[in-house]
Structure 1
Amino acid sequence: MKGGVQQMLPVELLPEVAASSPWCLRWQQRRHSWRHVRDGGFDARRYAVDVMAEAEPAKSFVLAHHYASSYPPVSVQFGLYDTVDGARRLCGVATFGVPATTAVLTNPLPELTPYTESLVCSRFVLLDECPGNAESWFLARCFDQLLTRGVRGIVTFADPVPRRTASGKLVMPGHVGTIYAATNALYAGRATARTLKLLPDGTVFDDRAAQKIRRQEQGHRYAEARLLALGAPPRPSGHPPSIWLREALAAIGARNMRHRGNHRFVWPLGRNQRERDQVALGLPPQWPYPKVPDLDPALR
C-alpha cells in the first residue's frame, strides 16, 4: 500500500463465521437478525420483483439497512416489494454491477464479456420481516430478468469475517452462504487475501475510496466526509491529500484487519441446464461448500 497508511494502523485479527448455514441473515437499520430456513412461510403471491430504473430509492434502502453502509457502482438494481392489500412496499434490494477490476469477472467467467454478459452481485439485503425462503425466490426472479438482458454469468462473494466497532459492538456477524448453496451456485474458492482498513464504526474504508482522496477524483468529497463524520480533522488548504488521509485514519483510530479473502460463488445463467453448462468456467468448482470457520490466526 502506497503512502505508508498500512504501517501506521494497529492490526486486528478476528475469527470467521461458517460460510454455509441453515440460518438466513436479515437486516433492519444495519442491525442483523436471523431466520431459519425450516421456518418457511414465504407466499410468492404476496410479493413482486421489478427493475428499479433509478438509483433511488434503492440506494437509500441499502445505505439505511446494509452493514457496509455504502452503495457500489450498479448496472441494474431490483426491488422486492410486499404487495399485501394492494400496496407496494420495498422490503428488499439486489444490485448487480461493476467490480473494482475486470479480473473479478474474467477469472471465473473468461469467455463472457465483463459488465454486459457477466456482472457481480454486490448487494443483496432483505428486511428482517421477510420470511425464511424469500431470498431464493427473489434471486431467481432477478436471474430471469438478467437473462433477458443478455447476462450469462453472475459472481458474488460471502464474507465470513465479523465486524466490530472500536468499542467491541458486533455490527456484522459474518456473511453466511446459505442462499448460494440453496440456489446451486458453484463455489470457486477464495478471493485474494488482503488487509482491510476498519473504521471505528465497524465499516470498511476500501482502497478505491482511499484512491479517490489521494487523487482527488470524483467521489472524493463523499469519502472524505465519512472520515470527517468520525472525527477526522478537516484538510488544511494546500495540504497534500495523501498525507491528510494517513493522518485522518490515524486520528480516528482506524485499524488494519487481516482477511484471508472472501468465499467466491458463480452462477452460470441459462434457460435450462444445457445452456448453463455452455458457460465456460475459468476456475474449477470446488466441493463441498465451505462450512468450517477459519482458525483465528491469533490462536495458532
Structure 2
Amino acid sequence: MHPTPPRDPEAVKGVTFGLTAYTMWGCFPLFFALFDGVPAVEILVHRILWSCLFLVGLITLLRRWPPVVAALVEPRRLGRVLACALLIGFNWGMYIYAVETRQVLQASLGYFLTPLVNVALGMLVLREVMARLQLVALGLASLAIAIQFLMLGELPWISLLLALSFGSYGLFRKQVPLDGLSGLFVETLLLFPVALIALAGFSWKGTSHFLGDTQTTALLIASGVITALPLMAFAGAARRLRLATLGFLMYINPSIQFLIALAVFGEPLSPIQLVTFIMIWTGLALYSWSAWQSRPGQLSAR
C-alpha cells in the first residue's frame, strides 16, 4: 500500500474559509427576511453606510491603510472602482428586493448563471477563446432562459440583472489592483455620500425606520457587519486556494439559497422552472469540468 500523502494544512484552512464564506452568503435570505416593512432601498442605504464604518475600524485594526490611500490619491484608478461600486450597489439592492418579494429562487438562479455570464463577457469584451465545453455550457444556459421566456411568458429579469451586474462587477474588479477588503472599503466609501443624502431624505420625509424600534435599528446596523464578515473569510480562502477550487465552492451559495426558497419560504417551483434549473446545473457541471481539466492540482495551495 502506498502511504496517504499528508494534507496541506494551508489548503485545508482555505477550504474551511471558503465553506464559511459561501455558507454565510447562502444564508443571507434568512437575514434579509427579518426586515419587516423596511423598503429594499433603505436597507441598501444602511448596508452601504454601516459596511463603510465597520470597514474603517477593521482596516485600522489590520493596518491595511496603505493600499487604500494609494487608490484614493490616484484618480485614474477611481473610474473603474466607481464602476465597481455602482454595480455592486445595484446588485445588493436587487438581491434585497428579491428576498423581500419572496423571489429567492430567481436570486439563486442569478448566482448559478454568474459563472456563465463571466464566460460570455470574457468572449465579448476580453476576446478570450473559450473551450468547447464552456461554449456548450453557455448555450445550455441561454436555451434555459429562452424556454422560461417562451413557456412562462416572462423573462427571469431578477436572475438576469443579478448575474449581469455581478458578472460585470467581476470584469471591472479584475482591473482594479486592490485586495478584497480594501476594494470593498473604497467602493462603499465612494457610495457613502449618496447613502448619507438618501438617509437624510428618509429622515426629512419621516419615512426612516432607523431608531424607530430596537430590533430594526440593530438589524440595519448588523447589515454592514454581515457584509464584511464573509468577505474576510473569502479573502482567507482566496490566498490559499486556486481559482478553480474557489469556483467549485461558489456553487454552495446559490444551492443553499435554492433550498431556503423551497423549504423555508415555500416558493413554488413549476416543472418548467425545474427543467431550466437542471439545464443550467448541467451547463455548470460542464463548465466546471472544463475549468478543472485545464488546471491540474487545483486543491494545492498557491
TM-score range, shorter chain: under 0.3
User: Whose strand fraction is larger, Structure 1's or Structure 2's?
Assistant: 1
TM-score (norm 2): 0.27
TM-score (norm 1): 0.27
User: Whose helix fraction is larger, Structure 1's or Structure 2's?
Assistant: 2
Tell which has more relative contact order, 1 or 2 (C-alpha 8 A, sep 6+).
2
